[in-house]
Amino acid sequence: MTRGVFLIDMTWDLLVHTWDLAKGTNQNTTLDSGLVEVIYHAFVPQMDGLRQMEFQGIKPMGPEVSVPASASLQDRFIGMMGRQP
């Protein structure tokens, strides 16, 4: 794994779970738009494959949550990651 791939992997995980914690504690869920853009575009081409992966019987990616085409990039990212924006 290259350093770039490693950094993208760690960043998407932190970004999604930052949103999870903010949402779960009724705080502001607005994420850094630059990070959302980079991670969203890095993961869009991979998501079908990631949803098919399984590790010890556990699928790390759930199904995508549909959002309107007019949704913000953050909402499309969150929906892509299986969360309801």
Each residue's pLDDT tens digit, 23-77: 999 999 999 999 999 999 988 888 777 778 888 888 777 789 999 999 999 999 9
Q: Measured between alpha carbons, how far is 59 from 41 in angstroms, rounded to an integer?
A: 22
Question: Can you give the pLDDT at residue 5?
Answer: 75
Q: Which two tokens stand for residue 31?
A: 């994420």
- pTM beyond cutoff 0.85: no
Q: Measured between alpha carbons, how far is 74 from 36 in angstroms, rounded to an integer?
A: 6
- Provide the terminal-to-terminal Cα distance of the chain, rounded to the nearest Å: 31
Q: Is the pLDDT of residue 79 over 80?
A: yes
Question: Can you give the pLDDT at residue 70?
Answer: 96
Question: Can you give the pLDDT at residue 72?
Answer: 97
